[in-house]
């Protein structure tokens, strides 16, 4: 699920530094700079959250994978396929 701007609350004016040529091309293409920046930042936040979650849960994931490798899936005998 992709976060929307309404999930983050009120807007706050912010100064950013962007590549001049990229900014000019975006303006020429009628791209809303604020929306594009917000969408990119939302993707970066989601990616970093995912990376943090994976790092925090690495031991549990490895333990679970090791169990399945050693013993198979816990409910495999009940599978119908």
| Average pLDDT for the chain | 91
Nearest 5°: the CA angle 53, 38, 40 is 60
Task: Work out how many domains the chain is built from and give that number.
Answer: 1
Given the structure tokens 């791209």, which residue do they identify? 31
Position 11 in a domain = no
Position 76 in a domain = no
Distance, CA of 26 to CA of 4 (rounded, Å): 21
Which of 59, 55, 79, 57 has its CA nearest to residue 67?
Answer: 59
Position 55 in a domain = yes
pTM of the predicted model, to two decimals?
Answer: 0.70
Domain residue limits at 46 = 16-70
Tokens of 54: 């994976």
pLDDT at position 9 is 82
Position 30 in a domain = yes
Position 5 in a domain = no
* 33 Cβ neighbours under 8 A, 6+ residues apart: 18, 23, 26, 27
Q: Is pLDDT of 6 > 90?
A: no
Position 62 in a domain = yes
């Amino acid at each position: 699920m992709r976060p929307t701007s309404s999930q983050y609350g009120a807007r706050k004016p912010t100064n950013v530094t962007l590549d001049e040529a990229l900014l000019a091309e975006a303006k020429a293409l009628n791209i809303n700079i604020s929306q594009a920046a917000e969408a990119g930042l939302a993707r970066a936040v989601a990616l970093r959250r995912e990376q943090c979650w994976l790092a925090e849960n690495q031991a549990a994931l490895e333990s679970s994978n090791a169990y399945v490798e050693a013993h198979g899936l816990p409910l495999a005998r009940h599978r119908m396929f």
